[in-house]
Amino acid sequence: SLSSRWLECCARCLIGAPFASLVATGLCFFGVALFCGCGHEALTGTERLIETYFSKNYQDYEYLIDVIHAFQYVIYGTASFFFLYGALLLAEGFYTTGAVRQIFGDYKTTICGKGLSATFVGVTYALTIVWLLVFACSAVPVYIYFNTWTTCQSIAIPSKTSASIGTLCADARMYGVLPWNAFPGKVCGSNLLSICKTPEFQMTFHLFIAAFVGAAATLISLLTYMIAATYNFAVLKLMGRGTKF
């Protein structure tokens, strides 16, 4: 019957589906959305914190604002690129599975098909290396905010440290966020504790953590793509046929 043939066709498609590519694509979309969305808002929150608490002179953080805005535009481009590239990698995964072979019979892979698979392997390798740097850079703001939060915990609970509360500070200049001649450039003691308790600080801190998690998820998806694409290309090259992956 028509329904049984339809179910049989669906079953064959599922058997030959590139599950590794499907998982990697979902993880890539999730990671990029988390990294770009949360990263964009976290940078905006950092801008507000700097101009509100760490410097009263716009010239001190004018360069920082330009860098933040440039990064936000890069984020827009990154999101668009990875959503497109993820879709292409998924399509390539379907191409190199046995789904077509299961339905239409054995087929020989063309030289063009092999070249396209090799291109995806090379580009994915390069993207993985670049994203390793992005992943490392995304850990920097988390480290800075965590240090600030830890200092606030020491101020809130003086028994945690032997230092005077007034000497416990968060200095934006020491991280290169502000120039050394910025005033005040740092916030200490109870003033710093009050900043840590603000919704702006808490939200920005958690947004950077979420962006870091998104960068990690994207890196894992790229590593999965890289393994799957390398395996598929090796089979195409050695066997001259599509393979399941």
Q: Is residue 211 within 8 Å of 93, Cβ to Cβ?
A: no
- Written as tens digits, the pLDDT of the chain (245 aa) is 555 555 555 545 545 556 777 888 899 999 999 999 999 999 999 999 999 999 888 888 888 899 999 998 999 899 999 999 988 888 877 776 654 454 444 445 555 556 677 788 888 899 999 999 999 999 999 999 999 999 999 888 877 777 788 889 999 999 888 888 888 889 999 999 999 999 999 999 999 999 999 999 999 999 998 888 787 777 666 655 444 44
> In degrees rounded to 5, what are phi and psi of residue 73?
-70, -35
Q: What is the pLDDT of residue 41?
A: 94
Q: What is the pLDDT of residue 159?
A: 75
Q: What is the pLDDT of residue 244?
A: 44
d(CA 67, CA 75): 12
Q: What is the pLDDT of residue 107?
A: 46
Q: What does the block give as tokens for 68?
A: 């933040």
Q: What is the pLDDT of residue 22?
A: 83
Q: What is the pLDDT of residue 99?
A: 40
| pTM of the complete model | 0.83
User: Which residue type, as a one-letter code, is found at position 148?
Assistant: T
Q: What is the pLDDT of residue 114?
A: 63
Q: What is the pLDDT of residue 10?
A: 52
Q: What is the pLDDT of residue 21?
A: 79
Q: What is the pLDDT of residue 31?
A: 95
Q: What is the pLDDT of residue 144?
A: 94
d(CA 229, CA 237): 12
Per-residue buried b or exposed e for 67-96, using 16+ beta carbons within 10 Å of the residue's own CB: ebeeebeebeebbeebeebbeebbebbbbb
d(CA 50, CA 152): 17
d(CA 212, CA 144): 13
Give one DSSP letter per residue of 75-87, joined into a string: HHHHHHHHHHHHH
d(CA 100, CA 198): 57
